[in-house]
Amino acid sequence: MTHTGLLLAAGNSRRFGADDKLLAEFRGEPLIAHAARAMRDAALDDRVAVVTSDAVAALLDGFRIIRIAPGQQSDSLRAGLDAVGDPDLLLITLGDMPLVTDEHLDAVMQRATDGHIAASHDGTTALPPACFPRAMIPALSTLKGDQGAGRLLQDLPQHSLVHAPDLLIDVDTQDDLTR
Pair type for strands 89-94 and 46-51: unpaired
3-state percent breakdown (helix, strand, coil) of the chain, nearest 5: 35, 25, 40
Nearest 5°: phi and psi at 134? Answer: -45, -45
Q: What is the pLDDT of residue 145?
A: 56
Number of domains in the chain: 1
Q: CA–CA separation, 136 vs 116, rounded Å?
A: 8
Beta strands in the chain, from DSSP E residues, in sequence order: 3-9, 25-26, 29-30, 46-51, 64-67, 89-94, 118-121, 126-133, 161-163
Predicted TM-score of the model (pTM): 0.90
Domain range for 135 is 3-178
Q: Tens digit of pLDDT per residue, the chain (179 long)?
A: 899 999 999 865 555 445 678 988 888 999 999 999 999 999 999 999 999 999 999 999 999 999 998 765 567 888 999 999 999 999 999 999 999 999 999 999 999 988 899 999 999 999 999 999 999 998 888 776 555 667 788 889 999 999 999 999 876 655 655 66
Instruction: With residue 174 as reference, give the H or E element that holds it.
Output: helix 174-178
State the DSSP code for 145.
T
Q: What is the pLDDT of residue 133?
A: 96
pLDDT tens-digit readout, 67-119 = 998 765 567 888 999 999 999 999 999 999 999 999 999 999 999 988 899 99
**Domain CATH for 40:** 3.90.550.10
Average pLDDT, the chain: 87
Instruction: With residue 4 as reference, give the H or E element that holds it.
Output: strand 3-9
